[in-house]
């Protein structure tokens, strides 16, 4: 069934999360030596119109998502890729802002597979629990 689907235009490769050392130029245990920004032979056929590689680096100031985008210049121009990257960055920033907010998230019935509870019942239960928590212990 998958073979009948169109080929994906974007390839995404999440390379993992790495802890930085005190001297960020020196790789820590199990980190690739020389970083993750190696070159690609320009004669190599492109697997996708746009290739995205991502890595999270745990730095002293907090985790940082680093992306590398590559594409055949005959298929995309730098302005189009920059626009996509800017839009994606804005979307990710919006998700971060949402999850940092007090109203983010919540449970769904799939979080409780051993019960038969509706989303409405769960919302009411959580609303009651919040009211009780605000009143404090008796």
DSSP-assigned letters across all residues of 24-67: TTS--TTPPTT-S-----TTSPPSSSEEEEEEEEEETTEEEEEE
pLDDT greater at residue 27 or residue 105:
105
CB under 8 Å, gap of 24 or more: what pairs does 24-28 form?
A: 24/59
Domains held by the chain: number: 2
C-alpha 138/C-alpha 135 separation (Å) is: 8
Q: Are 76 and 137 in the same domain? A: no
Q: Are 36 and 61 in the same domain? A: yes
pLDDT at 37: 47
Residue for token digits 């239960």? 125
Q: Are 60 and 94 in the same domain? A: yes
Per-residue pLDDT tens for 29-57?
Answer: 444 444 444 556 777 788 899 999 999 98
Cα Rg for the chain, rounded, in angstroms? Answer: 22
Q: Are 92 and 126 in the same domain? A: no
Average pLDDT over the chain, rounded to whole?
A: 81
Per-residue pLDDT tens for 61-98?
Answer: 888 888 889 888 888 999 999 999 999 889 988 988 88
Q: Which range marks the domain in which residue 138 is found?
A: 107-138
């Amino acid at each position: 069934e998958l073979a009948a689907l169109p080929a994906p235009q974007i390839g995404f490769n999440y390379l993992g999360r790495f802890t930085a050392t005190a001297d960020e130029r020196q790789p820590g245990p199990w980190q690739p030596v020389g970083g993750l920004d190696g070159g690609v032979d320009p004669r190599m056929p492109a697997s996708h119109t746009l290739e995205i590689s991502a890595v999270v680096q745990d730095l002293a100031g907090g985790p940082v998502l680093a992306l590398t985008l590559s594409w055949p210049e005959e298929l995309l121009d730098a302005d189009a890729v920059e626009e996509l990257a800017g839009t994606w960055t804005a979307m990710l920033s919006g998700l971060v802002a949402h999850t940092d907010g007090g109203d983010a998230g919540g449970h769904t019935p799939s979080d409780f597979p051993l019960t038969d509870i509706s989303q409405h019942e769960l919302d009411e239960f959580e609303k009651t629990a919040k009211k009780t928590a605000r009143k404090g212990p008796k």
